Amino acid sequence: MSQIMQRLQPDNRIYHDRALQTFPEVEGNLKENKLAYLSSLLDIDEESDNYMAQDIFTTVNYLSDAGYSVPQSVLNSVFFWCLKFPQYTSDLKKFTKRLKTQAWLYHAIENMLETQFEFFKKSILESPSVWEFIIDEFEQDLKSKQLLLENDFSKYQVSLLIESLIYSWEPENKSLQTIPLLVTSLIEFCTSSPSLKSTNGILSILFQMFPNETYELVCHCADRLNTACIQLIAEKHFYEKSPLEGDKFSIAEKMLPFNIDLAKSLIEGCSELEVTIFNEMKNHFNEFNNRFVPE
């Protein structure tokens, strides 16, 4: 049994099984000599520099162009190199487009959490270019599986890519974990960290997956949630449980198409300039078709 499965409570292990079925490991077709050479390039130590990273991406792109596919173990190392040298994010994007699957990223993230947790957690805050790529991948995956969100997490037919963050979060915690506990810990890390595309993107997707369970954790920083989350809050009347806090203008701006009265109440107390801008937006909003119209 894997370390991840050992940490999960028995009745929660089915969700990780579901994820592994949704995102099977990438199998490579490299010959042994090519794999050995590539593996030798991938060893990272304190002497490693960005020129070595450049050699690696040149090599994997060459192999990919030649019709070879590299195994997951190599993809894990390539991902690690990119986190260490974020200036090669564009090379990572170019290379992974040829893979035509997001499964490699699922396993690369789980591997990083299992083997380099503190380094990976730090990258969420300090490697914006890589995390812009990761969040974009999470959002594309969510968009392609949007209907899943109509059901409870336990009823999902397939898994979401962001689940790669959940099962291995806090690997040093040896007590048996449940999905709600892991999600709570991940959200608390994001809400206690600066407002970034990485942390806000994680918050927004997790809230859409677990709205009932996480609203109280995110309502104090609602301005960091995306428009889809604000729409969900309006439709489910979550704001009646606890007030929305954060940058009120930002929240009101997103809320306007979904609950104009709530949006107007949120804008009260904002600066005169913000009120003026909001009123301009409101004047161009057609309540009958929920669309903004030009002058």
HSE of 100, CA atoms in CB hemisphere, 13 A: 3
Q: What pLDDT is recorded for position 45? A: 56
Phi-psi region of 45 (alpha: psi -120 to 50; beta: other; left: phi over 0): beta
Beta strands in the chain (DSSP E): 285-286, 291-292
Report CA-CA distances (Å) from 54 to 58, 128, 211: 6, 19, 42
Average pLDDT over residues 1-21: 91
Q: Which residues contact 202 (CB under 8 A, 6 or more apart)?
A: 124, 135, 138, 162, 165, 186, 187, 190
pLDDT bracket for residue 58 (50, 70, 90): confident
DSSP 204-251: HHHHHHSHHHHHHHHGGGGGGS-HHHHHHHHHTTGGGTS---S-HHHH
pLDDT bracket for residue 94 (50, 70, 90): confident
Q: What pLDDT is recorded for position 215? A: 98
Q: What pLDDT is recorded for position 44? A: 59
Percent of the chain having pLDDT more than 70? 93
Q: What pLDDT is recorded for position 187? A: 98
pLDDT of 149 above 80: yes
Q: What pLDDT is recorded for position 292? A: 59
Q: What pLDDT is recorded for position 176? A: 85
**Beta carbons of 118 and 82 less than 8 angstroms apart:** no
Q: What pLDDT is recorded for position 65? A: 83
Q: What pLDDT is recorded for position 49? A: 67
Radius of gyration of the chain (CA): 22
pLDDT bracket for residue 32 (50, 70, 90): confident
As a whole number of Å, the end-to-end CA separation of the chain is 63
Mean pLDDT over each residue of the chain, to the nearest integer? 90
**Beta carbons of 140 and 134 less than 8 angstroms apart:** no
pLDDT tens, position by position, 188-243: 999 999 999 999 999 999 999 999 999 999 999 999 999 999 999 999 999 999 99
Average pLDDT over residues 71-87: 89
Lowest mean pLDDT segment, chosen from 87-101, 156-170, 257-271: 87-101
Report CA-CA distances (Å) from 17 to 36, 172, 215, 232: 31, 21, 27, 29
285 vs 130, residue with greater confidence? 130
Q: What is the pTM of this model?
A: 0.91
48 vs 251, residue with greater confidence? 251
Of residues 218, 223, 220, 204, the one with CA closest to residue 270? 223
230 vs 172, residue with greater confidence? 230
